[in-house]
């Protein structure tokens, strides 16, 4: 028997991603891994900004312990590369293929494993609990800002587990789960009802990731992002960034907002 290991077909290079390939892999496994989608300059800027955002979130909690320490709750609040990332069409393609072009951000967090440490994501969990058989409501993306290895806490995930209502026990999960082993800049796109867990970091370096969860445009966001960003200067955001952050899928707050010209409406993206 040959000892050469075949790379599984759910690992793709960015140039090989097409909508039909994404739908095929989502249908067969509920996920795909696109390698080397982000470039080194973007990754290094993003990691610097992420460390700053982590420090600001700690300040928000005024030194008290909090459950999701080292996981920024809403990356978009910190601008910079967290907004620029929406100008990367290759990152948006898999979301659009599964959910339609009108999909919007449901949650936009990060997940950093500190040196010799872990975070709240190491429990076995799903990111979106609702099950509608045959309908994917949310697509997650774990965006690797460092190489993920078994030692530094690569995510564990159970393929095709997205219609399982109850969490598998630890014995079953850790004996059957796969690890998200891939280089920095790669992205794991997954049905956000897939059971998964962050791994423990046993190295002396940080292991950083961003996590974007997209939903259908008629669903509510976890945090109302347009309202959360209302004090931010958004003039420089691209139309795509605004659309993905939910600025074109808002509910009018009153009659005045309802009775305006079509281009000024709060919900002005095409209905899918």
Nearer to ligand AKG, 161 or 250 (CB): 161
Of residues 128, 138, 194, 211, which one binds ligand AKG by CB under 6 A? 211
User: To the nearest whole angstrom, how small is the minimum distance from the Cβ of residue 247 to ligand AKG?
Assistant: 24
74 binds ligand AKG (CB under 6 A): no
Minimum distance, C-beta of residue 59 to ligand AKG, in the bound complex (Å): 22
Site string for ligand AKG, 77-116 (x = CB under 6 A): --------------------------------x-x-----
Interface of this chain with ligand AKG, residues 131 to 160, rule: CB under 6 A? 142, 155
DSSP category for residue 182: B
Does 128 contact ligand AKG by CB under 6 A?
A: no
Given 30, 31, 91, 127, the residue binding ligand AKG (CB under 6 A): 127
Q: How many Cα atoms within 13 Å fall on the side-chain side of residue 142?
A: 32
CA 239 to chain centre: 20
Judged by CB under 6 A, does residue 198 bind ligand AKG? yes
Q: Which of 83, 196, 217, 250 binds ligand AKG (CB under 6 A)?
A: 196
At residue 58, what are phi and psi to the nearest 5 degrees? -60, -40
Are 192 and 140 in contact by the 8 Å Cβ rule? The answer is yes
For the beta carbon of residue 119, count every other beta carbon within 10 angstroms.
21
Give the nearer residue to ligand AKG in terms of CB position, either 207 or 244: 207
Alpha carbon separation from 260 to 160, 243, 246, 263 (Å, rounded): 45, 19, 19, 8
Non-local (6+) Cβ contacts of 198 within 8 A are 111, 113, 118, 119, 121, 122, 153, 155, 156
Q: Which of 121, 128, 149, 221 binds ligand AKG (CB under 6 A)?
A: 121
Question: Which residue, 85 or 249, has its beta carbon nearer to ligand AKG?
Answer: 85
212 binds ligand AKG (CB under 6 A): no
Q: Do residues 244 and 105 touch, judged by C-beta distance below 8 A?
A: yes
| Closest approach of ligand AKG to the CB of residue 148, in Å | 8
- Residue 18 to residues 91, 198, 272, Cα–Cα distance (Å): 12, 28, 20
By CB under 6 A, name the binding residues for ligand AKG: 109, 111, 121, 127, 142, 155, 196, 198, 209, 211
């Amino acid at each position: 028997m040959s000892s050469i290991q075949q790379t599984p077909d759910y690992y793709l290079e960015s140039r090989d991603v097409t909508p039909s390939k994404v739908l095929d892999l989502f249908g067969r496994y509920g996920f795909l891994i696109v390698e080397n989608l982000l470039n080194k300059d973007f990754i290094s800027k993003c990691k610097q900004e992420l460390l700053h955002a982590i420090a600001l979130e700690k300040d928000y909690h005024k030194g008290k312990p909090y459950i999701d320490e080292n996981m920024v709750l809403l990356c978009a609040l910190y601008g910079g590369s967290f907004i620029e990332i929406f100008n990367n069409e290759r990152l948006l393609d898999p979301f659009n293929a599964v959910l339609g072009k009108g999909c919007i951000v449901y949650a936009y967090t990060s997940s950093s494993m500190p040196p010799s440490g872990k975070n709240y994501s190491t429990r076995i969990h799903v990111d979106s609990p609702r099950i509608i058989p045959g309908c994917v409501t949310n697509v997650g993306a774990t965006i690797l800002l460092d190489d993920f290895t078994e030692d530094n806490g690569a995510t564990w995930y159970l393929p095709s587990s997205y219609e399982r209502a109850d969490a598998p026990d630890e014995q079953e999960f850790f004996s059957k789960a796969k690890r998200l082993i891939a280089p920095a800049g790669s992205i794991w796109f997954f049905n956000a009802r897939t059971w998964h867990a962050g791994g423990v970091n046993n190295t002396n370096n940080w292991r950083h990731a961003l996590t974007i969860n997209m939903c259908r445009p008629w669903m509510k966001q976890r945090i109302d992002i347009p309202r959360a960003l209302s004090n931010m200067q958004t003039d420089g955001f691209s139309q795509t960034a605004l659309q993905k952050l939910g600025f074109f899928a808002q509910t009018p707050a009153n009659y005045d907002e309802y009775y305006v010209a079509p281009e000024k409406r709060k919900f002005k993206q095409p209905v899918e």
